[in-house]
């Protein structure tokens, strides 16, 4: 993509948000409001993780094998491209939405909605842990546009 790294990053982040099932424009009729917020948090955490992965990719491009970071996500591989990351993240978030949206509407305290809630809490906890570990090894939590 032309226009330099800043434009490339903006474009990729916007693409990730658009491709991930247009999450902020979706009808949430089958979702309890708490679950809706948890899913949106999951998307935001994926965007932060994607930006951290882009930080890793930039390091690998700049320093080659001297870069101390490697991707530990087996789906992406140790030396991914930004395009591969966007594709995998889009499929992950889109697939998660599709599977979670298949449950039936019910209040949070009803049994049919509890599995969705539990799954979303676990998914968010996993990504909070991932983003925190990435930060602790030196990957950025922010990206300058």
Determine the structural domain holding residue 120 and report its residue range: 4-21+34-136
C-alpha torsion sign, points 81, 83, 88, 92: positive
**Best CA proximity match to 38, nearest among 51, 52, 28, 25:** 28
pLDDT tens-place string over residues 8-48: 556 666 665 655 545 555 667 778 889 989 998 998 899 88
Residue 141 lies in a domain: no
Q: What is the mean pLDDT of residues 46-68?
A: 89
Residue 41 lies in a domain: yes
Confidence tier at 65 by pLDDT (50, 70, 90): confident
pLDDT at 94: 86
pLDDT at 145: 46
pTM of the model: 0.77
Q: In total, how many domains does the chain have?
A: 1
Residue 95 lies in a domain: yes
Residue 29 lies in a domain: no
Cα 123 to chain centroid, rounded: 10
């Amino acid at each position: 993509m032309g226009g330099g790294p800043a434009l490339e990053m903006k474009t990729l982040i916007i693409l990730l948000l658009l491709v991930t099932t247009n999450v902020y424009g979706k009808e949430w009729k089958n979702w309890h409001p708490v679950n809706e917020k948890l899913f949106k948090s999951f998307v935001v955490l994926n965007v932060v993780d994607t930006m951290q992965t882009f930080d890793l990719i930039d390091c690998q491009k700049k320093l080659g094998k001297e870069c101390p970071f490697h991707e530990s996500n087996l789906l992406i591989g140790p030396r991914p491209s930004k395009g591969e990351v966007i594709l995998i993240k889009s499929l992950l978030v889109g697939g998660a939405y599709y599977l979670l949206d298949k449950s039936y509407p019910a209040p949070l305290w009803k049994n049919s909605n509890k599995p969705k809630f539990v799954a979303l809490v676990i998914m968010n906890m996993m990504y909070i842990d991932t983003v925190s570990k990435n930060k602790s090894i030196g990957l950025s939590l922010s990206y300058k546009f």
